[in-house]
A and B are shown apart, each in its own frame.
Chain A
Amino acid sequence: MIEQLKNSGFEEMTLNMGPQHPSTHGVLHLLLKMDGEVITEARPDIGYLHRGMEKIAEKRTWGANIALSDRWDYIASMSNNFAAVLGPEKLMSITVPKRAEYIRVIMAELNRIASHLIFFGTYGIDIGAFTPFFYAFREREKILDLYESVCGARLTYNYFRIGGVSADLPEEFIPGVKAFINYFRPKLKEYDTLLSTNPIFMDRTVGVGAITKEEAIDWALSGPNIRASGVNFDLRKDDPYSVYSEFDFNIPTGKNGDCWDRYMVRMNEMKESARIVEQALEKLEPGDIMAKVAKVIRPPAGEIYTHVEAPKGELGVYCISDGSTMPYRYKVRGPSFVNLAILQKMLKGLRIADVVAVLGSIDIVLGEVDR
């Protein structure tokens, strides 16, 4: 068909989507070859937000790299902090106090809710519904207020420390979290009535951009994206770090791996995160928040790969220490970057309206893609 058209004088149109475009979630540049509205070839072009983080990390102390990690996936900084501290802690065989572990889990899970809320809001905008965005931000605001009361920051927290966390919880934090959880649960139902089961929304997302189980594994997807394809892969269960093995929670999975499944997995994950936070609050007991760690951190020479289940997927840090105060090599496996790769395969044959639906459902953050 396209060949015939080409012969008769028609040509494919090349559309540069981004880097300045309302719905490429930052500075992603998509090179689309199109036959009318149908995409024949798609190529993501990344690197507009490259800041050379891995190289910078080699010239900064281990502790300073936690602050750097805030800037990878800047809407889920707590999870990044988590990944950044696990490596040196393991190298130095530090045992983190129980209280600090629970605080870390509470922070990471609240952050998962916040990150998925941003996904929910922006995905609504991608599909054309503007209102959910404001509802999502109303709830996210409350989480940010809680964070602010703990560490003073609302976006780049720099809260974790090698061996614990930087500050103990203020008095109002625990009742605040409890109130938030109680407030948040009914809101999830509100989202379902507003967007999840809307016929137009389902029409746009069900069956669009489906990834099969095999494809998901082949392309090394992680996080909600692989779970939506029916693969029950979650590092919190499969390779429990911190104190995650103590909690009772489910891993929501999808069946078809289409946009709607990816969306629903995230919506259900928020419920599970709320459960984990509740359990962690119950187990929280007074105690130390920092292990006894030397002032100058010099992990023994060696290499290690540690990973956490960030909201976007498997966030791994591979670091090599030469025994000095600075890492010798600091490689970050950003889930957004890996998940983005499958985009060029998924987009082929879809329409331009589906590009934003698929891209939004993968839920990337360009700060983490480019680093």
Chain B
Amino acid sequence: MIYASQSLGDLWNWLLQQFAELCGSLGIPEVIRYMVEKGAYAVGLLVFISLTALVMIYMERKVSAHMQLRYGPMWTGGWHGWSQTIADMIKLLLKEDIIPDKADRWVHRIAPIVIFVPSLIGFLVIPFDKYLIGADLNVGILLVFGFSSIAVLSIFMGGWASNNKYTLLGGLRSAAQMISYELPLVLSVLGVIMTVGSLKMSDIVMAQKDVWFLFTPNLLGFIIYIIAGTAEVNRTPFDLPEAESELVSGYNTEYSGLKYGFFMLSEFTNTFIISAIAATFFMGGWNGPSWLPGIVSFLAKTYLIVFLLMWFRWTFPRLRVDRLMDFGWKFLLPLSFFNILMIAVWVLVKK
């Protein structure tokens, strides 16, 4: 039976069991049962992603507004302009889709898809709660980083295909930046993986049942992860690919309508993924007080990191491109190597 105190993950697990029993009694093949299960999860995930994007865009506007002595949206929909994002989305849908005359049409068209799909796939392996994970792969974290590194390709495609000098510069910048910061990003997570001894997301969460990795020597890894993660999703102080005051809008200058919307959406979904992984790897994932459903404590941690990234964005100036490279290669990368060394010693001593 289901009780109110139990979390969404338990509910999902219970539903799956009921469904399996039903299928067993009706004699439905295993393959079809599996597909229906995963399909249902995928649909739920899509709904969740859309809602997340809406919430995050609204949150960004409100957070930035209150940091800047403004109110942000206040009218649309009544209560504190809650439906402003929905209205914006509708506006984007209705906008004319402009492709520059001399653009590489095909590449220009698929670039927003290439950035959006990988960021969706990343959601599959994020453990929202016990049992509530799309695919608990034994290479979970590798999948996320593997797919998120495709984003650079899309930004480069968009920048190149638009046939505009500003977008080209933005695309080139992002190629250099994202590849450089991928290394410290992955290496910073390596410390946690060494501590746990598994790449599997659920194992990593379970290992933090007693103490979050944030409060162990992995703290350094967390700091490196946040810095590199900010650079990975192109947010200030690392928003050079779209540096407004220099490159107008960077790689997405020539995009309009829904295609621009995809770029914008993927910026927020990527931010969410980066934050969710930070919550999973360093802040105990869905572990939390027993009276709190797992998904609530997971989302609370994730949105804490999201807020942190927004805080960065609205207080820091932007780095210059060569200093960014210096910082990544000459400081962050050695530091993450040192972090690995430190964690290795720590793991040995603990044994």
Contacts and interface: CB of A to CB of B under 8 A. Distances in A.
Interface of A: 13, 15, 21-23, 37, 124-131, 133-135, 138, 194-195, 198, 200-201, 203-204, 351-356
Contact of A200 (B245, B317, B322): B317
Contact of A128 (B169, B173, B239): B239
B88 interface: no
Given A22-B248, A356-B246, 16 more contacts: A21-B248, A22-B244, A23-B245, A127-B317, A128-B244, A128-B316, A128-B318, A129-B315, A129-B316, A131-B64, A198-B317, A200-B317, A351-B320, A352-B247, A353-B246, A356-B245
Given A204-B319, A351-B322, A128 B243 contact: yes
Contact of B245 (A15, A22, A138, A351): A22
Interface residues of B, number: 29
B329 to A, nearest CB: 16
Interface of B: 64, 67-70, 165-166, 169, 173, 236-237, 239-240, 243-248, 314-323
Contacts of A355: 246
A131 B318 contact: no
Dominant SS among interface residues on chain B:
helix
B245 A204 contact: no
A130 B243 CA distance: 12
Nearest to A137: B69
Contacts of A126: 245
Nearest to B165: A15
Contacts of A21: 248
Nearest to A24: B245
A361 to B, nearest CB: 13
A131 B243 contact: no
Nearest to B319: A200
Nearest to B327: A203
Contacts of B319: 200, 203-204
A198 B316 contact: yes
A200 B166 CA distance: 23
20 contacts: A22-B245, A128-B239, A129-B236, A129-B317, A131-B67, A131-B68, A131-B315, A133-B68, A134-B68, A134-B70, A135-B69, A204-B317, A204-B318, A204-B323, A351-B322, A352-B247, A353-B246, A353-B320, A353-B321, A354-B320
Nearest to A32: B165
A354 B248 CA distance: 15
Given A131-B68, A353-B243, A203 B315 contact: no
A200 B237 contact: yes
A128 B321 CA distance: 13
A122 to B, nearest CB: 9
A133 to B, nearest CB: 8
Nearest to A355: B246
A128 B236 contact: yes
Contacts of B323: 203-204
Q: Which 3 A-B pairs have the closest CB atoms?
A: A128-B318, A23-B245, A134-B68
